[in-house]
Amino acid sequence: MQEISVTSKKQPRHPLDDLIRTDRIPHIWCPGCGIGTVFSSCLAALKESGIDLKKTVMVSGIGCSGRAAGYVKLDSFHTTHGRAIPFATGLKLANPELNIVVFSGDGDLFAIGGNHFIHAARRNMDMTVICVNNLNYGMTGGQVAATTPYMAKSTTTPAGNPETPFNLPLMAYASGATYVARWTMLHTRDLTDSITEALCKKGFSFIEVLSPCPVNYGRRNKQKPLDMLKLYQEKAIIKNHADPSKLDIDFEKGIILGKFIDLDRPTFIEHYDKIYRPSRLQENVSGLNS
């Protein structure tokens, strides 16, 4: 913990205030919305990881979750809908020294942006992707998403969702991600540890975080904010290294959380440098040796 001077100021400084654009707080997220907790955990992990924050960039797409980029006191980009990952890919390729964090919603990353996700994972682009999965399109009023559970109610599925949702960790693993984990916003300490680990790891890391959207999802599914948290508490089964194909979200059976995948394979930039920029590879090697 850092030092906090409470005596000198009327308002005490929150330990994360140095990473927040405090002039924009309170943020726009609704009372009981979990995005703020996930964001807070991400900031704590950024601190904890010890990575150079001057060389760290946060990229978000569009949606309530996508607003995070506007609150972090780092270089950050609020991109167009679904395009956080390709934008982040461009940043990384133009300046491979950067640490890239993509923080966005389930709709942004897996509906409109789904194709970008699978290709960045396939290429093993070196970035950390944090997906706030609130099971719907929160910002636009609670439409069905690619993650909405079967039979759940939304504005566009008033009698229940007839679709099968994605199993996000399976998709990440099958596409080539080298780090895959899932937590809920209630499992804040595990979540922070996981984000810290992912930030320090090279390659494509993916963390799914279940988080309540009481206003648009909870209200239509008879779940008050605290009900949702209690559900996370009751239904969570922590099972590290679980088989990714068994990770469908089913609130009846229980939700499996944990770190599922942690492996190493060359990143896109490593392959690219070897083939097209051998001189840079040389520079990097000599840089490492010096």
Partner 1 sequence: MEFWRVPLDADTIQVSRGIVHILEDRCKGCGYCIEYCPKQALEFSTNFNQKGYHPPVVIKPEECVNCHYCEIICPEFAIFSVESLQTTEVEQART
Binding site for partner 1 (CB under 8 A): 1, 4, 6, 11-12, 14-17, 20, 25-27, 29-37, 39-41, 44, 185-186, 188-189, 192, 225-226, 229
> HEC string of 34-79?
CHHHHHHHHHHHHHHHCCCHHHEEEEECCCCHHHHHHCECCEEEEC
CB of 225 to partner 1, least distance (A): 6
**CA 211, CA 234: separation in Å to the nearest integer?**
15
Question: What does 25 bind: partner 1, ligand SF4, Mg ion, none (CB cut-off 5 to 8 Å by kind)?
Answer: partner 1
H or E stretch including 105?
strand 99-105
81, 102, 207 from 198: Cα distances, Å: 24, 12, 8
Residue 74 binds which entry of partner 1, ligand TPP, ligand SF4, none, CB below 5-8 Å type-dependent: none
Interacting stretch for Mg ion, rule CB under 5 A, among 9-17, 127-135, 240-248, 266-274?
A: 127-135
Closer of 107 and 218 to Mg ion (Cβ): 107
DSSP state of 88: H
Q: Please report how the helices 188-200 and 35-49 are oriented relative to each other, as an axis angle in degrees rounded to 10.
A: 50
Q: Helix 278-289 to helix 268-276 angle, to the nearest 10 degrees? A: 110
CB of 118 to ligand TPP, least distance (A): 16
Q: Which of 79, 124, 134, 154 binds ligand SF4 (CB under 6 A)?
A: 134
CB of 35 to partner 1, least distance (A): 7
30 in contact with ligand SF4 (CB under 6 A): yes
Evaluated on CA atoms 56, 121, 272, 80, the torsion sign reads: negative
Q: At its nearest, how many Å lie between partner 1 and the CB of residue 231?
A: 13
90-109 residues in contact with Mg ion (CB under 5 A) are 105-107
Binding site for ligand SF4 (CB under 6 A): 29-30, 33, 35, 64, 134, 138-139, 213-216
